[in-house]
């Protein structure tokens, strides 16, 4: 009982030293991520759409003549950096008609990447179908988050993300990070309590969204685990920048993992 009280008090001490500036530094990590995504989407709009017909037709032919899933995927990927109405229509056609869920989800993802705002209604309507899987609906929710339709994305993800199968987690972790609200915090707490594989990244994202009370003890435990990969957590600790957090990074200079050591050195040499 005394140990539990001591641990609680120590945790409160950690929390109390965090200033608004430190919280803002964590907030900037997500904001930088969102801004990078916006810049990438903006790049896809620089193509002259009047000149894409031949390129689109060549890749349509490759897609429809593909003998396997990989060949289809390659054809789609060639169009994933061009935001033009003709290409948006093609991706919607693939989503409607392809028999492979993985290919449909890839096309859904690309609608997000090329900032296909005109496809938002199409995607939302598709989630109402009963003949597609919950995973495809998660793919749609993730694309809506990339499109910054956070309200509809949140509604879909809250219904279908609470599944510990790794392919769900891989989508939902980043979709909720883009949304960045209380639903996101609840999902990361769920992962911490139920997932063995995603505790590390869930703790990182919780910290970045301001739930230090939950995240910090977990991050500290991971930093003291000689077998853990620590780069993401060190990035969060560096943003916090308090003496204890920097000491945890400094201790990693002696880590048995070379990538951990190198990243710790890089962070400590970098000024805030």
Q: pLDDT tens across 78-98, in order?
A: 999 999 999 999 999 999 999
pLDDT in the model for residue 23: 63
Average pLDDT over residues 40-51: 95
Please indicate, yes or no, whether residues 130 and 209 belong to a single structural domain of this protein.
no
Confidence category of residue 24, pLDDT binned at 50, 70, 90: confident
One domain, residues 197 and 176: no
Q: Do residues 170 and 190 share a domain?
A: no
The pLDDT of 112-132, averaged and rounded, is 98
Q: Are residues 43 and 161 in the same domain?
A: yes
pLDDT, position 19? 59
Query: In angstroms, rounded to a whole number, what is the distance separating the alpha carbons of residues 38 and 29?
Result: 15
Give the least confident one: 144-148, 174-178, 242-246.
242-246
253 and 268 belong to one structural domain: yes
Residues 75 and 151 in one domain: yes
Per-residue model confidence (pLDDT) at position 25: 77
CA–CA gap between residue 214 and residue 15 (Å, rounded): 10
Mean pLDDT of 239-259: 94
User: Does residue 12 lie in a domain region?
Assistant: no
CATH number at residue 59: 1.25.10
Range 228-247 average pLDDT: 94
* Domain edge (last residue) among 132, 152, 180: 180
Asked if pLDDT for residue 56 goes beyond 80, the answer is yes
pLDDT of residue 95: 98
73 and 124 assigned to the same domain:
yes
In the structure, what pLDDT confidence band is assigned to residue 22 with cuts at 50, 70 and 90? low
Same structural domain, 243 and 151: no
Average pLDDT over the chain, rounded to whole?
Answer: 91
| Residues 145 and 204 occupy one common structural domain | no
Domain end (from 152, 180, 208): 180
Over residues 109-135, the mean pLDDT reads: 98
Residue 157 lies in a domain: yes
What number is the average pLDDT over the span 189-208? 96
Domain assignment present for residue 4? The answer is: no
Please report the pLDDT score of residue 26 as a whole number. Answer: 84
- State yes or no: pLDDT of 262 exceeds 90: yes
**Residue 27's pLDDT is what?**
85
Q: What is the mean pLDDT of residues 154-161?
A: 98
Amino acid 255: pLDDT:
93
Question: What's the domain range around 54?
Answer: 20-180
Q: Among residues 180, 211, 233, which one ends one of the domains?
A: 180
Quick one: pLDDT band at residue 13, thresholds 50, 70, 90? very low
Q: How much is the pLDDT for 12?
A: 40
* Number of separate domains in the chain: 2
Co-location of 163 and 42 in the same domain: yes
Share of the chain above pLDDT 90, in %: 86
Q: Is residue 202 part of a domain?
A: yes
Q: 111 and 56, same structural domain?
A: yes
């Amino acid at each position: 009982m005394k140990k539990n009280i001591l641990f609680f008090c120590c945790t409160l001490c950690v929390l109390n030293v965090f200033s608004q500036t430190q919280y803002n530094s964590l907030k900037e990590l997500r904001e930088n991520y969102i801004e990078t995504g916006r810049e990438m989407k903006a790049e896809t709009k620089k193509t002259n759409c009047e000149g894409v017909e031949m390129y689109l037709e060549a890749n349509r032919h490759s897609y429809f003549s593909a003998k396997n899933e990989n060949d289809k995927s390659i054809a789609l990927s060639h169009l994933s950096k061009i935001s033009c109405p003709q290409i948006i229509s093609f991706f919607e056609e693939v989503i409607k008609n392809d028999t492979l869920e993985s290919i449909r989800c890839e096309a859904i993802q690309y609608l997000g990447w090329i900032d296909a705002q005109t496809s938002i209604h199409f995607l939302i309507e598709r989630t109402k179908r009963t003949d597609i899987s919950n995973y495809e609906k998660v793919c749609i929710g993730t694309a809506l988050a990339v499109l910054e339709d956070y309200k509809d994305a949140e509604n879909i993800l809250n219904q279908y993300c609470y599944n510990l199968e790794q392919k769900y987690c891989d989508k939902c972790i980043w979709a909720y990070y883009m949304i960045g609200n209380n639903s996101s915090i609840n999902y990361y707490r769920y992962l911490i309590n139920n997932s063995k594989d995603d505790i590390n990244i869930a703790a990182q994202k919780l910290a970045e969204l301001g739930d230090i009370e939950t995240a910090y003890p977990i991050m500290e435990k991971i930093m003291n685990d000689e077998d853990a990969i620590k780069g993401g957590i060190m990035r969060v600790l560096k943003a916090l920048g308090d003496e204890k957090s920097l000491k945890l990074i400094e201790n990693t200079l002696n880590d048995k993992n070379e990538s951990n050591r190198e990243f710790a050195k890089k962070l400590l040499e970098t000024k805030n």
